[in-house]
Structure 1
Amino acid sequence: MEDEEGDQKTRRVVFVTVGTTCFDALVRAVDSQNVKQELFAKGYTHLIIQMGRGSYVPNKSEGDGSLAVDYFTFSSSIADHLRSASLVISHAGSGSIFESLRLGKPLLVVVNEDLMDNHQSELAEELANRKHLYCASPQTILQTIADMDLNSLLPYSPGDATPVAKHINRFLGFPED
């Protein structure tokens, strides 16, 4: 057993979040033996799954010679999990996407193809085209993880909304400061 300091140096966490939704297909996909083996082969040591309203319960494991797996349903804040993650695997919710990108975390967004009129997939695909993240479906997540090169991702720099806000304020008649 390594001491705490040594453990922190080698700990590489994959944090999976589905937000407040039910996205059992994503949870089931990351809990598959093939995906866990691929993550472990890429040097990750821990898999923490925020499973939301889903009914599929992942298999916990201690990580003896493989990926350590733990899960929870909800947390008052996932910020700490995001900050400590070496890789974030997220549903396509804009809040989760932009929070991960703001923190500079490598991100794999998994689109829930069961949602009707899925505008979230458009956002994820556009950001993937711009090389800010990887995008997959539950069916393609294994291949995407196997093929991804996190060093090829480009940092995301949010735009400055100040000019737009000033224009709206002027239009609404608010005084400029």
Structure 2
Amino acid sequence: MGGGGGDGESGRRRIVFVTVGTTCFDALVEAVDSEKVKEALWRKGFTHLLIQMGRGTYIPSKVAAEDGSIAVDYFTFSPSIADFLRSASLIISHAGSGSIFETLRLGKPLIVVVNEDLMDNHQSELAEELADQKHLFCARPQTLCEIIDAMDLESLVPYTPGDALPVAKLINNFLGFPTD
């Protein structure tokens, strides 16, 4: 099995950006902060882990990584995460559709972690459908390490946004606007 395409790029920063959006998703933050997950990311050639922890109460450990391990930093919120998404080599995200599609539009490899504590879990259906189409990897907090170990970033299929015109026409027609 190959090394996910990133091994051997010594000296280069390879950032994993984790986002929970505006929610509280301590199970995800705790999972990425675990030694097992950090070691799995390091083995895949990632050098930095940046966690956007939202409203969560679990505080990840900051690690400077002078000891040959992955560097870890975190913050709660930012007015825009677009720059973090652009600079990342891998994104690990909650299952919010905004975060998913923003990441896919940028063409970034993505692992979506489903929050099983949510009552109305329609987000997991979206994540699983996109995973079936090979646009992203889908995990639960407890399976994140296995997914990272097994993932082959080369196997992902770029996402091409669909044609929104038929939907826009339908909405305009419904609202009574001309459809021409």
Please say whether Structure 1 and Structure 2 have the same fold, judged by a TM-score greater than 0.5: yes
AA matched with 2:71: A
Whether 1:49 aligns to 2:51 is: yes
Alpha carbons of structure 1 residues 84 and 174: separation in structure 2 relative to 1, 3 Å: same
Deviation track 1:102-143 (CA, whole Å, cap 9, x = no partner) reads 100000000011111211101000000010000000100000
Partner residue of 2:64? Answer: 62
Inter-partner Cα distance in structure 1 for 2:88 and 2:166? 34
Q: Look up the SS of the partner of 1:108 in the other structure.
A: strand
- The percent of aligned pairs where both chains have the same amino acid is 75
| Matching residue of 2:89 | 86
Amino acid at match of 1:32: S
SS in 2 for 1:49: strand
Q: TM-score, normalised by structure 1?
A: 0.92
Give the SS at the match of 1:10.
coil
Residue 176 of structure 1 and its aligned partner are, at CA, apart by 4.7
Provide the aligned C-alpha RMSD in A: 1.5
What is residue 137 of structure 1 aligned with on the other side?
140
Q: 2:168 maps to which residue?
A: 165
Q: TM-score, structure 2 length as denominator?
A: 0.90
Instruction: Summarize deviations over 1:21-66 as a string: whole Å, max 9, x none.
Output: 1100100000001110110111000000000000000000112111
Aligned residue number for residue 154 of structure 1 = 157
1:5 corresponds to: none
Q: Between Structure 1 and Structure 2, how many residues are aligned?
A: 170
Q: Where in structure 1 are there 5+ consecutive unaligned residues?
A: 1-8
